[in-house]
A and B are shown apart, each in its own frame.
Chain A
Amino acid sequence: MTDNHFRELRLDGVSRAYGSQNALNDLNLTISGQEFIALLGPSGCGKSTALNCIAGLLPLTGGSIYLDDRRIDTLPPEQRGFGMVFQNYALFPHMSVRKNIGFGLKMHKVPKAEAAKRVDEAVALVQLQEHQHKAPGQLSGGQQQRVAIARAVALHPPLVLMDEPLSNLDAQLRLEMRMEIRRLHQNLGLTTVYVTHDQEEALSMADRLVVLRLGVMQQFGTPEEVYDHPANAYVAGFMGYRNLLELDIVTADAEKVSARGKHIALVGANRESVTTGRAIAAIRPEDFTIGATDGNRIEVTVDIAEYHGRELSVQASTADGLSIYFRTSERVAPGDHVVLGVPAHRVLVFRSDNSIDADVQQTTEDAPAGVGAGGPGTGR
C-alpha cells in the first residue's frame, strides 16, 4: 500500500455472466504501471462490469486477475487496496468532507498525525480547503466529485478505478475535471482505469483505450491507433465514422476494395481482408469533398444543413434514400443537389455488420485478432 507502483495488471480471460447472459466475455488485457486506460463503449457493453471485477465488487465467473505475479481476483475488495470513484460520487453523507477523505486512512489504521497530514494533502490536491468541514450534501456536483477523487487517492493506491466519474456533471465542468483528473494522474504517478461512454473523453485522457461491445473487446490501442485505424466497422462508427454504408464488393485485393450500391460507387482501403459479398464503407463526415475525388462519386440531395460556425454539418440523402452526413465550408441549402467525393484512403472498408455479429458469437478467436488489427495500420 505504501509502495504504489507495480509493473503490470493482467486480466486473464476475465468473464462475468448473469445467468446465461455474458456481460463480459474473455477479457484479456495487460495494463502497465502508471498508464491511463479508458474502457470505452455504449451502455451495456460490459465496461462497468469489467471495472467492478477489477475492484472486487463483482465476483468473476471465469478467468483471473494478476497484479504483477500476485493473483488478486480471489481477494475481497477491502484487501485489494484500489481506489475507486463512483458515478454518483458515493460520498458518506453523515461524514464531513475531511472525514470522507480520511476514511480509508482510518480503516488502514494510519496513525492520526500522519493521517491528518495526508488528508491535508488530498484536500489541497483537489482545492477544497475552504469546504473541508462541510457535509457532502452542501457541495455542488463538481465539488462532490473532487471529494470522491481525493478520497480515492488519499491512500496512494496502486490503481485508481473511475466509473464514469464525469457523466453527472455539466459540459463546462466536465472539460475542467477532465484536465484535473489527467493532472492528478500525472503528478501522483497513478495507474488509472477509467470507464466512459464518451469517445472524446476517452481519446483526450487515455494513454491507451479499450473499445468494448456486448462484453467483447473490439480493439485495444492508443487513441491515435483507434481513431485512425479502427479495427472494425463498429469501432469506426464509435470513433466518428458516422457514415457506415453497406455495399456490394466488386473487386478486392489486399490493399483496395471497389464496392458499389445503387447510386454509389466507392474505392476504399481494405481494412478487414474482405473478399466478396457485402462490405461496410466507413467515412467521416469531414472527409467528404464537394466534387468527385479519386473516382469516388456520390450524388445526394441536401435535407438538413446545420450551421456550425466555420462550416455546415449536413444531412443529405441519395436517390434511394440512404442518409449521408458530411461537413462542408461551402454554403449549401436544403434541396440542393450535390456531388460528393472522398479520397480513397479515407474510405475504410470493413466486413459487413452480419459478420461482426458472427464475431461476437465466436469471440475467443476474434477478439485478440481485433487487437492485432489495431496495431500500426496498413497503407493509407
Chain B
Amino acid sequence: MSTATAPAVRPPSNQSSLRHRLAERGVDRTLWLLLPAVAFIVLLFMYPFLYGLGLSFQPSHGGGIFGNYAAFFSDPYLRNTIWKTLGLGLPAALFNVIASIPIAYLMRGKVRGKRLLTTLLVVPITLGTVLTAQGLIMYAGPTGWLNTVLLDLGIIDEPLTLIHNWIGVFLSLIITGFPFAFLLTLSYISGIDPALDKAAATLGAGPMQRFRTITMPLLAPGLVITFTLSFVLAFSVFPSAQLVGDPTGSTRVMSIAAYDAAFQQFDFPMGSTMAMIMAVVMLVVIGLVMLWRTTLYRGATGGKG
C-alpha cells in the first residue's frame, strides 16, 4: 500500500523540501530586501573602484600597463609618501587607542558626568577636520593663544612651531580621532561583566593585577578593531595635512600626492594608481593586525555588550 501512495506524494514534497532547504540556509524571498544595498555598493563603490583600477593600468606617459606603478616606486618623492603617511597614521592611531584605555577604564561604571563628557567628546567628530584645523591654527599658531601666553609668562623665548609640520597634523588627528577611539573602547569595556573584576578581587588580585589579567585580555580584541578603524581614519588624512601640515615636505601624505597628480597635473591615471597603492598599504596593515587578533581570546565577555 505504501508503494502505491509514495510516488503520488513525492514530487510536491521534493519541491517544497528544496525550498525548505534553501530557506534553512537563509535563501528566501526576503533576500530581495538586500537589493537596494547591493545596488548602492555596486554603483557608488565597486564601479568607481574598478574604474580607477582600470585607469591605473593606462598610463598617460606610456611605459606599459605597469608604467604608473613603476613611476611611483622609482620616484623617491612619490615613494616616500607611503612612509610619511604611515609615520602619521600609525602613531596617531596607536596614541588614540592607548590613551583611550585608562580613561574608558575609569569611566566604565556609573560615573557622574559620564553623559556630559561623552557629549563633549562627540563634538570634535561632528565639527569635522577643517574646523578643527582652523581652531588649531588659532590656538597653536605662532601668534596663537598658547604661544602668546607662554611668551608673556616668559616660559619660552621663541614661539613653538606646533603647526605647519608633523606635530600639527598629529595633533589634529588626535583631536578628531581620540573621541572616536574612546567611544569604541568604552563600549567594549562596558561589555565586560563587572562581576569578573569583583571575582578577581575576592581571589586576591589587586587593581593592577585585575587590569592586567582580566580586563586587558578581554578588551584586546576590541582594541584591535578600534586601532584598525582609527588607523583607517588617520591614514586617509587629507584636510589637516594640507591645512596644518607641511604639504610639500614632511606631511606630504599619499592622499595629497594623489590629489596633486589628479587635479594639479590632470594625470588621472597616476592619481588612480596612488589611490590603489594607498588601498593596498592600508589592507596590508589591517591584514597583519587582524592576523594578530586571531591569536587572542575572542569569545563572550559576559557583560551586557
Q: In this complex, which of B202, B213, B300 has the most chain A Cβ atoms within 10 angstroms of its Cβ?
A: B202
The reply to whether A135 and B299 form a contact with Cβ atoms under 8 Å apart is yes
Is A94's CB within 8 Å of the partner chain B?
A: yes
The reply to whether A86 and B195 form a contact with Cβ atoms under 8 Å apart is yes
Instruction: Classify the interface of chain B: helix, strand, loop or mixed.
Output: helix
Within B199-214, the residues touching A (CB, 8 Å) are 199-206, 209, 213-214
Q: In whole angstroms, what is the CA distance A90 to B193 when docked? A: 8
Q: Which of A103-111, A201-209, A232-240, A347-355 contacts B (4 or more CB under 8 A)?
A: A103-111
Residue in chain A with minimal CB distance to B199 = A90
The reply to whether A93 and B297 form a contact with Cβ atoms under 8 Å apart is yes
The reply to whether A57 and B198 form a contact with Cβ atoms under 8 Å apart is yes
Q: In whole angstroms, what is the CA distance A92 to B195 when docked? A: 10
Within A78-95, the residues touching B (CB, 8 Å) are 78-84, 86, 88, 90-94
The reply to whether A93 and B218 form a contact with Cβ atoms under 8 Å apart is yes
Is A77's CB within 8 Å of the partner chain B?
A: yes
Within A40-98, the residues touching B (CB, 8 Å) are 55-57, 76-84, 86, 88, 90-94
The reply to whether B204 and A104 form a contact with Cβ atoms under 8 Å apart is yes
Q: Within the complex, what minimum Cβ distance (angstroms) separates A210 from chain B?
A: 21
Question: Residues of A within 8 Å of B, CB-based: how many?
Answer: 29
The reply to whether A92 and B300 form a contact with Cβ atoms under 8 Å apart is no
The reply to whether A107 and B209 form a contact with Cβ atoms under 8 Å apart is yes
The reply to whether A104 and B302 form a contact with Cβ atoms under 8 Å apart is no
**A300-325 near B? 1/0 per residue, CB < 8 Å:** 00000000000000000000000000
Residue in chain B with minimal CB distance to A84 = B202
Q: How large is the interface on B (under 10, 10 to 19, 20 to 34, 35 or more residues)?
A: 20 to 34
The reply to whether B201 and A57 form a contact with Cβ atoms under 8 Å apart is yes
Q: Within the complex, what minimum Cβ distance (angstroms) separates B73 from chain A?
A: 43
The reply to whether A90 and B301 form a contact with Cβ atoms under 8 Å apart is no
The reply to whether B202 and A93 form a contact with Cβ atoms under 8 Å apart is no
Given A93-B300, A108-B204, the answer on whether A86 and B218 have CB atoms closer than 8 Å is no
The reply to whether B202 and A103 form a contact with Cβ atoms under 8 Å apart is no
The reply to whether B299 and A92 form a contact with Cβ atoms under 8 Å apart is no
Is A137's CB within 8 Å of the partner chain B?
A: yes
Question: Per a CB cutoff under 8 Å, which of B198, B204, B297 touches A86?
Answer: B198
Which residues from B are CB-within-8-Å of A76? 201, 206
Given A104-B203, A107-B209, A155-B204, the answer on whether A90 and B299 have CB atoms closer than 8 Å is no
Residue in chain A with minimal CB distance to B221 = A94
The reply to whether A103 and B201 form a contact with Cβ atoms under 8 Å apart is no
Q: Which residues of A does B touch, CB under 8 Å?
A: 55-57, 76-84, 86, 88, 90-94, 103-104, 107-108, 135, 137, 151-152, 155, 161
* 29 residue pairs bridging A and B, Cβ less than 8 Å apart: A56-B201, A57-B198, A57-B201, A57-B202, A77-B201, A80-B202, A83-B203, A84-B199, A86-B195, A86-B198, A88-B193, A90-B195, A90-B198, A91-B199, A92-B196, A92-B199, A92-B214, A93-B297, A93-B299, A94-B218, A94-B297, A103-B200, A103-B213, A107-B204, A107-B205, A137-B299, A137-B300, A151-B203, A155-B204
